[in-house]
Amino acid sequence: MYHRLRVADVIEETPDAHSLVLSVPPELATEFAYRPGQYLTLRVPHSQGIVARCYSLSSSPYTETDLKITVKRVPGGPASNWICDDIRAGASLELLPPAGSFTPDSLDDDLLLLAGGSGITPAMSIIKSVLAAGRGRVALLYANRDQNSVIFAAELAALSEQHPDRLSVTHWLDSERGTPDPATLAALISAYAGQEAYVCGPVPFVVVAHDTLQRAGVPTDRIRVERFEVEERSADDRDATLEVELDGQTHRLPWPAGARLLDVLIAAGLNAPFSCRQGHCGACACRLLDGQVDLVHNEILEEEDFAESYILACQAVARSDEVSVTYY
Ligand code: FES
């Protein structure tokens, strides 16, 4: 269920990235308790109504009382630009409580974090938590376009100085070294290949990082990945109308171009099931009765599932004007 939280402060981290500090009233403290690496779901206005968007928490539950999400502008992206342009201290936002499984099992483990751009947000939460409340050591490889786009540069430098034996930060700037290539990155992280690895960033970075870790010999079952949704619209995106059977009722809803089916349902206040929101658990599966969708990412459904019309709501975007799905 959505709750309204007040924006206590807005921090301009870089020209393109704003952090929103959110106050949690005492009566919601339990519901909004979180683990490092989790995200919040936010209702944001859209040309066709309201959509839901997920943003990772960059705060740590061990070092900060308020919650903080950090949002980087995506060129042409309606949600991130609305947040960066229109949200000021004193505004109130509608949010779902924290969720997500991109979170370390133990703060005493040694971790290797690979972050690209705004993928630093959950990494920052994990780093602060491990340093404050655990015994683990953390190695961070952090890739950005150029120096101006490095979010949390000063905070990371201060943490490295305070914990020289427990935090090592390696920056990669495309402006100096070109786009990251797996062979060079693998050499940079080889000393940490035995550690549990966490990768977060936009899809192209995640692909390179995954290849890097495999070259460095990190087993796949020790790699955790969080992809960031890309807000840009593809040429195939179209506004559609959705008919959905859920919880004994049929609903007709506008489905904005490029939005994920699950986000449309959550934004409408419907109780649709989900867990990972990354296309790898299957908790959001439903069946397509009519129309066409594309799945942005899929690690769980197989040919026989598609033959029975199963789709993943967290990954489905509309590809026809009318789409009908059922959860029965
Ligand atoms: Fe896990 Fe959609 S919520 S695959």
The whole-number average pLDDT for the span 163-192 is 94
Which fold, 3-99? Elongation Factor Tu (Ef-tu); domain 3 (2.40.30)
How confident is the model at residue 93, as a pLDDT?
Answer: 95
The pLDDT of residue 8 is above 90: yes
d(CA 193, CA 217): 6
The answer, yes or no, to whether residue 232 has pLDDT greater than 70, is no
Centre of ligand 1 from the C-alpha of residue 189, in Å: 30
Return the ligand 1 atom nearest residue 274 CA.
3
For the CA of 277, the nearest atom of ligand 1: 3
Predicted TM-score of the model (pTM) = 0.81
Centroid of ligand 1 to alpha carbon of 272 (angstroms): 11
| Nearest alpha-carbon partner for 116 in 233, 210, 184, 192 | 210
Q: Where are the domains of the chain?
A: 3-99, 111-228, 240-326
Distance 275 CA to ligand 1 centre (A): 6
* pLDDT over threshold 80, residue 48: no
Q: For residues 284 and 266, give the distance between their C-alpha atoms in angstroms, rounded to a whole number.
A: 12
CATH class given for the domain over 111-228: alpha beta
Mean pLDDT of the chain: 92
Which CATH superfamily includes the segment(s) 240-326? Beta-grasp domain (3.10.20.30)
Residue 260 CB contacts under 8 Å (≥ 6 apart), including other chains: 229, 296, 313, 314, 315, 316, 317
Q: Assess whether pLDDT exceeds 70 at residue 234.
A: no
User: For residue 80, with 0-12 CB atoms within 10 Å meaning exposed, 13-18 middle and 19 or more buried, which class applies?
Assistant: buried
- Ligand 1-lining residues (CB < 6 angstroms): 274-277, 279-284, 300, 312, 314
